[in-house]
Amino acid sequence: MTNHYLELQALNKDLAIMTAGHNIFGTLTFSRGFTESDKFSAGIKEKLADDIHRGFWQRIDRTYYSKKAVAEGVRIGRVCFKHFGSSGTNIHYHFTAKANCAEFAILAKQMWLRSGAFTGKIQIETIRDWEDAYHYLGHEYVEIGGKSFDERTTHWDVSAVDNNKHKNISQLRRLLKATDVDLSMGASV
């Protein structure tokens, strides 16, 4: 067995623990103009993509949880990986998360498309085969190494968080506002 195979086995063992209970698999892409552009060097593109991705997750967390809760480290449980595709230049992200799938899909789509001029398609789906999902997350790890695993946006040890404590009218308002639902309830101005 090669070192790469052993590394991948160890990664998959860790991912089995980190993604336990996750029910959502997602893919975040960038526009073709961004990935194929010569305007930016590869390093600048990667940093910009990382910044957009990190900002996306910050807005998601801040929509689900109060400012105080986020400051205390409360987050949506998730594991994020950066991939480059077979061309080596197609930056995109895959993640697994634990949340209400229908609600999360609506919010995530709105948030991703508002994350900047370079964002592309977003795909959110319910995990059908959990083992396949976490194996897919790490499949480029052998080729590109540690920079594939996005430690800055991954928050997997959130088992102590009582999500019911954070479900309140303020959270509902933040979710409705983020998804452009009219909060006026028919009230006239």
**CA dist., res. 68 & res. 40, Å (int):** 37
Q: What is the pLDDT of residue 126?
A: 96
Q: What is the pLDDT of residue 58?
A: 95
Q: What is the pLDDT of residue 135?
A: 93
Across the chain, which has 189 residues, the per-10-residue mean pLDDT values are: 78 92 95 74 88 95 88 90 90 94 91 91 95 93 85 78 60 67 39
Q: Is 23 exposed, middle or buried (0-12, 13-18, 19+ CB in 10 A)?
A: middle
Q: What is the pLDDT of residue 136?
A: 94
Q: What is the pLDDT of residue 182?
A: 41
Q: What is the pLDDT of residue 187?
A: 37
* Cβ atoms of residues 122 and 29 within 8 Å: yes
Q: What is the pLDDT of residue 162?
A: 59
The second-level CATH assignment, the architecture, of 3-178 is: 2-Layer Sandwich (3.30)
Q: What is the pLDDT of residue 179?
A: 67
Q: Is 170 exposed, middle or buried (0-12, 13-18, 19+ CB in 10 A)?
A: exposed
Ranges of each domain in the chain: 3-178
